[in-house]
Amino acid sequence: MQEDSVLLIDKPSGMTSFGVVARVRRKLSQQLGKKAKVGHTGTLDPFATGLMIIVTGKECRNAGTYSKLDKVYEATIRLGQTSSTGDPEGEITEISDIQPTLDEVTEALSQFVGEIQQTPPIYSAIKINGQRAYKLARKGETVEMPVRTVTIFSLELVDYIYPDIKIRVHVSSGTYIRTLAEDIGKVLGTGAYCTQLRRTKIADFSIDDSALTSEYETY
Q: What is the mean pLDDT of residues 119-133?
A: 67
Confidence of residue 136 (pLDDT cuts 50, 70, 90): low
What are the residues whose beta carbons fall under 8 Å from the beta carbon of 215, sequence distance 6 or more? none
Q: What is the mean pLDDT of the chain?
A: 90
Domains 6-68+203-216 and 71-202 share a fold: yes
Q: Provide the pLDDT for residue 119.
A: 85
DSSP code per residue over 68-130? TS-EEEEEEEEESEEETTSSTTS-EEE-------HHHHHHHHHTTSEEEEE---SSSS-EETT
Q: Kindly indicate the confidence band of residue 142, based on its pLDDT and cuts at 50, 70 and 90.
A: low
For the chain, the structural domain boundaries read 6-68+203-216, 71-202
Q: How far apart are alpha carbons 109 and 183 in whole angstroms?
A: 10
Tens of pLDDT, residue by residue over 25-66, are 999 999 889 999 999 998 899 999 999 999 999 999 999 999
Q: Cα(203)–Cα(109) distance, rounded to whole angstroms?
A: 22
**pTM for this prediction:** 0.89
* Terminal Cα distance for the chain, rounded: 16
* pLDDT for residue 146: 76
Catalytic amino acids?
Answer: 45
Q: What CATH architecture applies to the domain 6-68+203-216?
A: 2-Layer Sandwich (3.30)
Give yes or no for a contact between 122 and 59, defined as CB atoms under 8 angstroms apart: no
Work out the percent of the chain whose per-residue pLDDT is above 90.
76
Q: 105 and 188 in contact (C-beta within 8 Å)?
A: yes
Indicate the burial class of 166 (C-beta count within 10 angstroms; 0-12, 13-18, 19 or more): middle
What is the CATH code for 71-202? 3.30.2350.10
Cβ atoms of 59 and 5 closer than 8 Å? yes
